């Protein structure tokens, strides 16, 4: 789910992880300018894709 527009991302949709409020947040492509304006910092350069099928975890890079 995009943390800005609260929309559930569709399978195959691109998103990236941005950090603000000391948390890593999922942001859809549409909302990236909003996140940037809000002072968020992009965590990764590469886009991630929502996996089709299966239970999607919002943050897979917890490690």
12 vs 63 by CB, closer to Zn ion? 12
48 forms beta bridges with 15
Q: In whole angstroms, what separates CA 34 from the centre of its chain?
A: 12
- Of residues 1 through 60, those in contact with Zn ion by CB under 5 A are 2, 4-5, 28, 31
State the minimum distance, in angstroms, from the CB of residue 35 to Zn ion: 9
DSSP 8-class letter at 62:
-
Please compute, for residue 28, the number of CA atoms within 13 A of its CA located in the half-sphere on the CB side.
16
State the minimum distance, in angstroms, from the CB of residue 6 to Zn ion: 8
Binding site for Zn ion (CB under 5 A): 2, 4-5, 28, 31
């Amino acid at each position: 789910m995009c943390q800005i527009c609260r929309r559930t991302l569709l399978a195959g949709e691109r998103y990236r992880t941005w950090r603000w409020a000391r948390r890593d947040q999922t942001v859809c492509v549409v909302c990236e300018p909003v996140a940037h304006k809000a002072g968020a910092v992009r965590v990764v350069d590469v886009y991630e894709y929502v996996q089709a099928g299966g239970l999607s975890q919002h943050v897979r890079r917890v490690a």
